[in-house]
Structures are given as structure tokens and as C-alpha cells.
Amino acid sequence: MTLLKVRRLELCDLESRVCWLNSPDVYRRMTVTVPLSLEETKRWYVGTLLNTSRHDLAFSLEDSGSLRVVAMGGVTDISLTHRHAEIYILVDPCLTGKGIGGKAVQWLCTWAFVSLGLKRVYLHTTGQNEPARRLYDRLGFVREGILRSHLWHQGRHVDRHVQGLLREEWARQTWYQESLQMEIEL
């Protein structure tokens, strides 16, 4: 079994991030303003470095003896008072459908519940991203609601779907122990 390795997002990851977010398959389903530039992304990255309410990460697999970043994700809007946070995941568009996103989401949830002591994690998807919602359903997330016509995206208003996972729901998942086995370098 190949282990997914996790580390903090680094400056060297930003070129791939920009490329992935500018991919039509990605921006069609996510609410990013494109085209996204490397300079804008560098400014965003610098702003995240001192922000204690978020952790942005890179997920890698070994490929021919070296590590290849295959996904990026994070835990954002962390509230230790309310014990909740939002998670997000972005998979290399060439590698979607291979289970990488699911493994990364499992790891993010486990890390949020174990390391941060959270009670709830949640995420948002656009109305066009039913494949992602089905993945989150399989991972135990509950569909909590739809914010109708909530975002302006690609020239029109789109719905924003909310899904959440409580700590006790996570503890009942068959995958949560396995996600503790992923290697981390934080």
C-alpha cells in the first residue's frame, strides 16, 4: 500500500496550485475567480503564513523515487471556541477519480478531530459539484442544506451546498483508524 504523505503547503507548490485551479474541470465546480495568477497566489500564500485559523497542506505520493504533490487541501476558519472548522480539497485534475481526494478528506477530518479537538467539520460545494457531494456522502458527511443563489460564479448565481461531519459520526466511520496511518511532516 502506498502511503499518502502530508506536509504544510510550500512556496514551491504554488505553480501547480495555479495550474490546477485554472483548469476548466476545476473552476467549473469551484468558486475561484480565474484566470488566477501566480503572483496573486503568492500574495494569498504569504497572508496564510501568519493566519492561525487555517492550515494549508500538500498531499504527496512517491513517484519513481521522488515525491509528487497530488492534492492540496486544508482546514480553514478554525474556531477553537466553537470547535469547528471548514475543510477543502483540491486534487490534481489529471488524477481525479483515483481515490486521492477521499483519502485526503479522511486525513483532514481525522487531523481536525484528533489534533485540533474539534466537534464538527464542514465543507461547501457548488450546485455543479454533485460528484464531490456523493464522495462526501460516502465518507459520512450529512447534507445540511443549500444556500440558494448564494454565489456569483461564471456569470450567474449558483447554489452553495453545505455538508458536515460531527466527531461522533466520524468515530463510527470504517476509515477513521486507517486515516491515522498517513505520514505527516508538519
Q: What confidence category does residue 2 fall into, taking pLDDT thresholds of 50, 70 and 90?
A: low
Give the residue, 152 or 138, on which the prediction is more confident.
138
DSSP 35: S
Outline where 50-174 has alpha helix (H).
Answer: 100-114, 130-138, 167-171
Q: Which amino acid is at 107?
A: W
Give the residue extent of every domain in the chain: 5-185
Say yes or no to pLDDT of 68 above 50: yes
Residue 182's pLDDT is 59
Class of domain 5-185: alpha beta
Residue 38 pLDDT exceeds 90: yes
User: Mean pLDDT throughout 65-80?
Assistant: 95
pLDDT at 156 over 70: yes
93 preceded by a cis bond (ω within 30 of 0): no
* Residue 33 pLDDT: 67
* Long-range contact pairs involving 18-24 (C-beta distance under 8 Å, separation at least 24): 20/72, 20/90, 20/91, 20/92, 20/93, 21/90, 23/93
Phi, psi of 86 (to 5 degrees): -95, 145
